[in-house]
Chains A and B, each alone.
Chain A
Amino acid sequence: MTPIKLIMADEWRFWKRTRLAVSVIFMGIALTLVAAIVNTVEMQHATHEREHLQHTSESRFLEQPDRHPHRMVHYGHYVFRTPAPLSIIEPGVDDYSGSSIFLEGHKQNTPMFAEQGQASGMTHFSNLTPSFLLQVIVPLFIILVGYASITREKEAGTLNIMLTQGVSLWSLMLGKLFALAGSGLLMLVPLVIAVIWAASNGEALLTSLSFVFGYLVYILIWSGIVIAASAMHKRSSASFTTLVGLWIVLCILTPRIASTGASAIAPTPGKLETDFIVTKELEKLGNGHNVSDPAFDQLKQELFSKYNVDKIEDLPFNFRGTAVQIFEEKLTTVLNEFAEQRMAEELNQALIARQFGWLSPTTAMRSLSMVIAGSSIETHHRFLREAETLRYDFVQSLNKIQTDDMTYEDDMKGYDDPASRVESSNWELLSTFSFKPDSASTRVARSLPYAAQLLFWLLLVGLSMRLALRRVS
């Protein structure tokens, strides 16, 4: 056996003798396992429930009786976002963002019913998700297991004996490192099983592998931090306090300071405030429900000369439908402009917070994890955009029916006149909505900056191990 392997085996033997390390590792495995199971069950439940609601909402739309198409524009539709397969490990913003939107004509609504709004409020700090445990708690466990790895040998005087016997310091440190990382990997096993489960439920191989790889690197980083600190200190107690201090700063403080900092650096005005500007902009478009609105004068003149008529009754199509169609198009352009602006601001905030990944591997890991799992703000925005596309499509299809399939005269007869109705078979225009997270390659490409942050930390840890090496010898 090589010295590295010998030292590894020796470390494992030592842990077996001291019950603390074994019980910590065991607790870590048990916790992540429970978390993985609970989350898988919960996410499956959420998926089924949302698929069911989506189905209900679609069939209700289709079941509507014959009526004026514009009534269906206001009847509206609901879309629900189903969670991504990897949400069983990293639910990300899902609980905070709201997962359903009501879609209707002339309006872009906000998502509703964020889970946290209906939660007990107990989980604002911690969550029983595998991601929280692996990102925050497992590093603490690694510290508990490994803080004395090298200080122990110093305190017992065995370090010098080993060195005089010709064991190189590097192999000593690497042996200890691999032993410690091995204990971390044990706690990673439930995650790997959950990822395999996710992969069998449609998650791509590329994302699944990058996800696991990210966590592997993260565990290696923390093991490295622990070994380096242990090598730098003379006494176990000092190494322990340093490590717990580091853990508090890197795992608990920095991520929160990041989000507080981001909202202080780049405050967003929020939807209500921009709504005032939107209303002003929309006012210029006129009222789409009123064909005598001056906003349509120019259009009317153009159509009159094109079709060689002099009143809207004589146009070969229903002008009221044309008016709402044009109105919806212009309105949507304005609304989208502001929606995109708001999303850009939100994303910018999130990106600022993620820059703190250079200051804490936990933040880097969290960003990587959310982005790859497809539970980050980017995916949420994608949901908003897809919902909007669906909204625009069904509203405009209904408006087109009003234009092409109805005469202006019938349309004018009022909402309760049978002549102003169209057959309910028309409602089949609604396309089914099924939300899929971004493609695997997009998500992985998006995660590269955070992978770079993690690699930076790996490098930093490697360097501090070298530094520690010099201080030992």
Chain B
Amino acid sequence: MSYLAHIKRETRFLFKQRYVLAILSIVFSLSVFAVWSGILESQAQSKTIERLIEKDAQERAHILTKKSDYGSAGYYSFHLTYSEPSSAAFAAIGQRDIHPWKHRIRLLALEGQIYETDAANPELSFVGRFDFAFLASVLLPLFVILLLHDMRAAERSSGRYDLLISTAGTWKHLWLARALVLTSALMLALILPLLAGALWSQTPIKLTASMALVVIGHLVFWSLMVLWYTASSFAQKQTSAQIASVLLSAWLAVTVLVPVASDMAINHMIDSPNGGDIVLTQREAVNDAWDLPAKETWDVFLTDYPQWRELATKPPEKGFNWKWYYAFQHVGDLKTHELSQGFRDAKIAKDTLAGRFALLSPPMFTQRLIASIAQTDTQAAVAYEQSVRDYHQTMRHFYYPRLFGEAEFDQQEMAKLPEFSHL
């Protein structure tokens, strides 16, 4: 019998089994739901950003009409920053549920603003979303186990085992053909909705292909693992339910125990400054400045911006002026710099370590790969935060010459303020 004939026969056989068909159609509908809700969420985020951009520009224009100096223009006008969901984001909400992807900032000290978040509903984030990445990483192994665990045992218990082997020529062909058909059917049920979603979202082929490859890789891993175990000598003495129990325990170990233990280890290995300390430090720095002699602020500020030495120290000794105000805002950021950098470094270090620990857990590894292709991982969140910091600096550099040069306020000039851009 040729190999192709095996496959044909197994395919026919497969479609006669109600149980197999039920599982496949469940996987297919779950995949459709995951992709559909992911697209919905992505679109909602894009639309939100679109609306925000428009309203943000309107509000700023409106506020600026009422301002007559750069100092208060900077104080009262907010600027939107955002991170657009990528065209592949529908497949993984990833860290976008936890890290902010939209933020409004103004010219004041950044450390006092950047930790404000417009967060998602915490109760929904806590339960977790159902997205394609979840289906492909956490649930997929369960379906593989359900489909493949009793290929042999079921035949054995129904007494067909020996008959099958004697009629199917070499027995290896039989199991492999059957496993191949089941695995491919599962793959199609899983991936077809993904491909449709990618087509709809105009995801670049390269991203779609790599995502599909990750899913197939994960699927092949579990299929081989199940096949290997069912063929092993332990499994020969077990009932199909016992085989499945062993496989489920393996799933439990890599999906629950390894990540949880890794998380504990990572938290132990990486020390992070306390967030509360950052904001308390920056508040002290900014507030103390009001009572300190202006010179102390200037000394620190001018080490960073020596080019404003001439223009900065000219203002009167007494009373309020915007130059000094923005100088101590910046000094507030400088004083917090180390803590804040430590906070970010810890976040990155934890993510890097998590990447290594994920090698011990195929489901976590899969999830991370998909989120990274979809650009919804921690790295993307860190990059977005950096782009907000960069933009804040661009903004300051736009205002400084105008503030320190005591330029006459000009609405036309404000149109030159660089716009936020990310990626």
Q: Chain A residue with minimal CB distance to B377?
A: A121
Say whether A114 contacts B262, CB under 8 Å: no
B319 at interface, CB cutoff 8 A: yes
Which of A188-196, A198-206, A272-280, A314-322 faces chain B?
A272-280
Proximity string of chain B (240-272) to chain A, C-beta cutoff 8 Å, 1 when within and 0 when not: 111011001000100110011011101100001
Size range of the interface on B?
35 or more
B364 within 8 A of partner (CB) = yes
B290 within 8 A of A: yes
Given the interface pairs A119-B263, A237-B150, A255-B127, the reply to whether A76 lies near B283 with Cβ below 8 Å is yes
Task: Determine the distance from Cα of A235 to Cα of B112 in the docked complex, in whole angstroms.
Answer: 64
User: A102 contacts B279, CB within 8 Å?
Assistant: yes
Asked if A463 is at the interface of the complex by the 8 Å CB criterion, the answer is no
Selecting from B117-125, B162-170, B307-315, the interface stretch reads: B117-125
Residue B201 at the chain A interface, CB threshold 8 Å: no
Docked pose: A273 CA to B44 CA in angstroms: 13
Q: Which of B51, B124, B241, B290 contacts A147 (CB 8 A)?
A: B241
Task: Give the residues in chain A near B95, CB-CB below 8 Å.
Answer: 121
Cross-chain contact of A240 among B121, B241, B284, B287 (Cβ < 8 A):
B241
Tell me the complex Cα distance, A74–B138, Å.
Answer: 48
Complex contacts, B272 vs chain A, CB 8 Å: 118
Find residues 263-289 in chain A having any chain B CB closer than 8 Å to their own CB. 263-264, 267-273, 275-276, 279
For the complex, give the distance between the alpha carbons of A272 and B45 in Å.
13
Task: Tell me, yes or no, whether A120 is within 8 Å of chain B by CB.
Answer: yes
Report B-chain residues with C-beta under 8 Å of the C-beta of A258: 127
CA distance A75 to B283 in the complex (A): 7
Chain A contact residues: helix, strand, loop or mixed:
helix
A128 x B264 contact (CB < 8 A): yes
Contact B119 A114 (CB under 8 A): yes
Chain A residues closer than 8 Å to B40, beta-carbon distance: 264
Query: Of the candidates B130, B287, B318, B378, which one forms a contact with A416 in the assembled complex, judged by CB atoms under 8 Å apart?
Result: B318
- State the Cβ distance, B81 to closest chain A Cβ, in Å: 10
B320 within 8 A of A: yes
B274 interface contact, C-beta 8 A: yes
Q: Are B116 and A112 in contact (CB under 8 A)?
A: yes
Establish whether residues A112 and B275, one from each chain, have CB atoms under 8 Å apart when the complex forms: yes
Picked from B240, B256, B364, B377, the residue with its CB within 8 Å of the CB of A137 is B256
With A122-B259, A256-B130 already in contact, the answer to whether A112 and B115 are too (CB < 8 A) is yes
Partner among B124, B255, B319, B343 whose Cβ is within 8 Å of the Cβ of A349: B124
The chain A residue sitting closest to B368, CB to CB, is A121
Q: Is there contact, CB below 8 Å, between A256 and B128?
A: yes
Q: Which of A93-112 contact B (CB under 8 A)?
A: 93, 95-98, 100, 102, 109-112
A260 touches B123 (CB 8 A): no
B370 within 8 A of A: no
B130 touches A257 (CB 8 A): yes
A264 to B142, CA, bound (A): 27
B409 interfacial by beta-carbon distance below 8 Å: no
B142 touches A60 (CB 8 A): no
Query: What chain B residues lie within 8 Å of A376 (beta carbons)?
Result: 123
Known: A113-B275, A248-B139, A263-B41. A96 touches B98 (CB 8 A): yes
Q: When the two chains form their complex, are residues A377 and B123 in contact, meaning their CB atoms are under 8 A apart?
A: yes
Contact of B118 among A270, A370, A380 (CB under 8 A): A270
Contacting residues, chain B, for A148 (C-beta < 8 A): 241
Residues of B with C-beta under 8 A to A239:
241
CA distance A272 to B41 in the complex (A): 17
Give the residue of B239, B279, B343 whose beta carbon is less than 8 angstroms from that of A236: B239
Q: Determine the chain B residues whose CB is within 8 A of the CB of A262 once the complex forms.
A: 124
| Chain A residues closer than 8 Å to B102, beta-carbon distance | 270, 272
User: A253 CA to B52 CA in the complex, in Å?
Assistant: 33
Complex: A144 Cα to B102 Cα, angstroms: 46
Q: For A92, list chain B residues within 8 Å (CB).
A: 123, 126
Contacts of A366 in B (CB 8 A): 127
Known contacts A102-B279, A120-B266, A123-B259; is A49 also within 8 Å of B274 by CB?
yes
Q: In the complex, how many residue pairs between chain A and chain B have their CB atoms under 8 Å apart? A: 247
A414 touches B318 (CB 8 A): yes
Complex: A235 Cα to B283 Cα, angstroms: 68
| CB nearest to A93 among chain B residues | B122
Residue A457 lies at the interface, judged by CB distance under 8 Å to chain B: no
**CB of A62 within 8 A of chain B?**
no
Check: A245 CB closer than 8 A to any chain B CB: yes
Q: Mark A148-174, 1 if CB is under 8 A from B, else 0.
A: 100000000000000000000000000
Q: Report the Cα distance A273→B153, complex, angstroms.
A: 58
Interface bits A44-69 vs B (CB < 8 Å: 1, else 0): 00000100010011001000010100
List chain A residues, Cβ under 8 A from B52.
Answer: 272-273
Using CB atoms, name the residue of chain A closest to B270.
A120
Collect the chain B residues with CB atoms within 8 Å of residue A123's CB: 259-260, 263
Contact among B44, B127, B351 with A121 in the assembled complex (CB-CB below 8 Å): B351
Query: Please, which residue of chain A has its CB at the minimum distance from the CB of B116?
Result: A110
**A88 contacts partner chain B, Cβ-Cβ < 8 Å:** no
A: contact size bracket:
35 or more
Query: Interface readout for B337-353 with A: 1 if CB under 8 Å, 0 if not?
Result: 00000010011001101
Shortest distance between the CB of A3 and any CB in chain B (Å): 27
- Judge if A459 is at the interface, Cβ distance under 8 Å: no
- A6 close to B (CB within 8 Å): no
* B320 closest partner in A (C-beta): A415
Q: Quick check: is A353 within 8 A (CB to CB) of the other chain?
A: yes
Check if B248 sits within 8 Å of A113, measured CB to CB: no
The answer, yes or no, to whether A178 is at the interface (CB within 8 Å) is: no
For A109, the chain B residues whose CB sits under 8 A away are: 116
Q: What CA separation (Å) do A128 and B40 show in the bound complex?
A: 31
Could you say which of B280, B291, B350 contacts A120, with CB atoms under 8 Å apart? B350
Judge if A13 is at the interface, Cβ distance under 8 Å: no
Residue from B59, B115, B290 having most chain A Cβ neighbours under 10 A: B115
**What CA separation (Å) do A267 and B351 show in the bound complex?**
30
Point out the residue from B117, B146, B284 that lies within 8 Å of A98, measured CB to CB: B117
Which chain A residue has the least Cβ–Cβ distance from B346?
A: A118
By the criterion CB–CB under 8 Å, are A380 and B122 in contact?
yes
Q: Which residues of B contact A257 (CB under 8 A)?
A: 33, 130
- Is there an interface contact between B262 and A346, defined as CB atoms closer than 8 Å? no
Residues of B within 8 A of A102 (CB): 112, 279, 283
Known A121-B354, A253-B130: A267·B44 in contact at CB below 8 Å: yes
Closest CB in chain A relative to B68 CB, distance in Å: 14
- B127 near A353 with CB under 8 A, answer yes
Which chain A positions have C-beta within 8 A of B280?
A: 53, 56-57, 60, 78
Taking CB atoms, residues of chain B closer than 8 Å to A448 are: none
Assess whether B283 is in contact with A414, with CB atoms less than 8 Å apart: no
New contact pairs (5) apart from A110-B117, A125-B138, A350-B121, CB-CB < 8 Å: A76-B283, A118-B343, A148-B241, A244-B142, A416-B290
Using a CB–CB distance below 8 Å, which chain B residues touch chain A? Answer: 19, 23, 30, 33, 37, 40-41, 44, 48, 51-52, 55-56, 59, 80, 95, 98-99, 102-104, 112, 115-131, 134, 138-139, 142, 146, 150, 153-154, 157, 239-242, 244-245, 248, 252, 255-256, 259-260, 262-264, 266-267, 272, 274-276, 279-280, 283-284, 287, 290-291, 318-320, 343, 346-347, 350-351, 353-354, 357-358, 363-364, 367-368, 377-378
25 A-B interface contacts by CB (under 8 A):
A53-B274, A71-B290, A116-B98, A117-B98, A118-B272, A118-B275, A120-B354, A125-B367, A126-B259, A128-B263, A137-B252, A137-B256, A140-B248, A147-B241, A237-B157, A240-B245, A255-B127, A264-B40, A272-B80, A272-B103, A279-B59, A349-B121, A353-B124, A353-B127, A416-B318
Nearest 4 pairs of A and B residues by beta carbon: A113-B275, A256-B130, A240-B241, A97-B122
